[in-house]
Structure 1
């Protein structure tokens, strides 16, 4: 039996260079089509989504956040949701299932929050290490726990996104491979199951993008 995770390996290449990762940037080709003088239905829908996200992120960041901060997280959401949906099409490389992609997003965000927080709000950052109302005996332990939880944040953001993308795709791949050996009755049942799984994966694609963006927003609000 071949390695199950081999379906996620970059396999297409030209002159030794992997071209699978080009699926990450295909959205840039599609985007200019939306910027017409008369907005299309797609553009109106996308504007409504952006407005909703902007209002939500603005509430999470609070009054202390700088103007335009929400658009960073809206851009991150847009990039992830596009890549997640691209991975649902057959024979298209799922870049968001790789830690190379997810860590590239989460690590710079987290480092920039930490650098900004410790330089500009040092006392506030130290105060965050000990939650309010902690007994004096537990303070050293709480500092250790809070420090560890802070350090693993970029890892948890990256792994959560990658693992959720891998899990759904693996399940669909495993079920799809059994199709050749099934009877017509079971095959029709398998097709219905696969369609339902595809709908679930579509929902997961949006939810995971939203979770990534919201958690990034919450982490940024803590440093102000």
Structure 2
């Protein structure tokens, strides 16, 4: 297919169709046939490029192929950043296309389902702990633990569950760690030039390559 040359004004009109409900920090993409022709990044930026080919398994591919609305949480395997996306089938100058709204991965979770505190178990007792007291969460030996100032608790949720249900102030940095961004003291590099996040309680946690782009995007460095 030849490249479609469409004025930005027209593409902006497509994007504005959903402006009544789309959050101002959402990213918006338009894809036609096998590539993206429009991308405006918001706060949750997955770093698409105009002219970039559509990847197999992406929301754009499924929306265009099936010509139906698609809503799904995507992991970070395609673009290095997990996100919640909504694809709408559209027609662009006679070609099947997709308008894609890109939002944080926990956006689809209803407020009533979003956690306000974590209830942890310690010595056969349960303690509801406000989230602002939680510095980080860890998956260790097939169990999930969260840590406060000088204490730790076992919790029944998996890290995957928590990644979706914790507020945006919590950031996944590793297969085994989710941190409270309000508890970060500094970010540095270790002897292998890998990023390490030091929390205000002195804990140092590694950032894995899998989550590196997401960490950089959300922390803005």
| Greater helix fraction, Structure 1 or Structure 2 | 1
TM-score > 0.5 by shorter chain: no
Provide the TM-score with structure 1 as the length reference.
0.21
Larger Rg: 1
| Greater strand fraction, Structure 1 or Structure 2 | 2
